[in-house]
Amino acid sequence: MLKTLIERAAEIAKELGIETVAVVTKSDFSEEIDGVELIVAPKKYATLLDSIILYLEDSPEKVIAEKFSYMHRTKEYISTYMYLKGFDVERALVVLDTDSLKGITLLEGEKSDFLRAIEECTDRVDPSALRAVLAISLNIAQKGREGRKIGSAFVIGDVEEVLKRSTQIVLNPFAGHRERDRDIKNPETWESIMEFAQLDGAFIVDENGIIITAGRYIEASAKDLLTRMRMGLGGRHIACASITKETKAIAVVVSESGGDITVYKDGIELIHIPSILF
């Protein structure tokens, strides 16, 4: 069944001029299809979708809108996954092969809530810089450092105002280095960045992706923010939400406890990427 679905999806993709087919399945699949790029999501995506569907089937409300919400969530998950993995696609076909759901659906990136939120951030920071920060955050969330989980925070843009509201708590490890060696968009810097992610404090990055400093303690006020934030978040999240409320910066936080990634703008949680998505 899976092979048939993928072959049919590839035919449809070619007819529509779509270059990418995403696959959500618990089965192993490693074949290639000529003319189409196949992206296989982690198997836990299929398990997650089955869990959602089971919940909806057992739900006593039986509300039609709720019954169809899993399809919206599916597209959001795939859109988020493809972005985090570096794929730039406006449209993709998605093959669903789970215990509860088998079929083909069309993903249109411009309608994704996640991509719209990303767009809201890129009116202030370079899109490539934001994507690089999220890619590094994903690595930190997945791998930690030296076998242990770590959290981290990146504050991007409006550097002058951010520095006014923060204090250096360790020697700046990026001081005196060439711009190329401080460019977060350069993958050659990522290993060093992940090493310095173990430091207390936040990375401060300009709107073009150049790292200004690391180990920065944020002193912005959290007044009026706590009642708007999710329960259970710690000081790192509060500080980053606060600095985005007082400045035009964007903040990205990796949770040490759960590995979730959160993006703040104007003191508001704009994006929450639970660790189950990667």
- Can you give the residue ranges of every domain in the chain? 2-109, 117-277
Query: Can you give the pLDDT at residue 182?
Result: 97
Residue pair 39/20 in contact (Cβ under 8 Å)? The answer is: yes
pTM over 0.95: no
Structure tokens at 259: 């590995």
pLDDT 10s per residue in the chain (278 long)? 888 888 888 888 888 888 888 888 888 877 777 777 888 887 877 777 777 666 655 555 555 455 556 566 667 777 787 787 777 666 788 888 888 778 888 877 666 788 889 999 999 999 999 999 999 999 999 888 777 888 999 999 999 999 999 999 999 999 999 999 999 999 999 999 999 999 999 999 999 999 999 999 999 887 777 667 777 678 899 999 999 999 999 999 999 888 899 999 999 999 998 886 66
d(CA 92, CA 272) in angstroms, rounded, equals 23
Q: Which distant-in-sequence residues (6+ apart) come within 8 Å of 239 by Cβ?
A: 153, 202, 218, 220, 222
Residue pair 278/81 in contact (Cβ under 8 Å)? The answer is: yes
Cβ-in-10-Å burial (0-12, 13-18, 19+) of 9 comes to buried
Fold of 117-277: YojJ-like (1 (3.40.1700)
Query: Can you give the pLDDT at residue 54?
Result: 67
Query: Can you give the pLDDT at residue 227?
Result: 63
The full DSSP string for 31-56 is --BTTBEEEEPPHHHHHHHHHHHHHH
Bridge partners, 271 (sequence order): 263
DSSP SS3 for 271: strand
> Can you say whether the dihedral through the CA atoms of 21, 24, 27, 28 is positive or negative?
positive
The full DSSP string for 118-142 is HHHHTTTS-HHHHHHHHHHHHHHHH
**In Å, how far from its chain's centre is CA 103?**
26
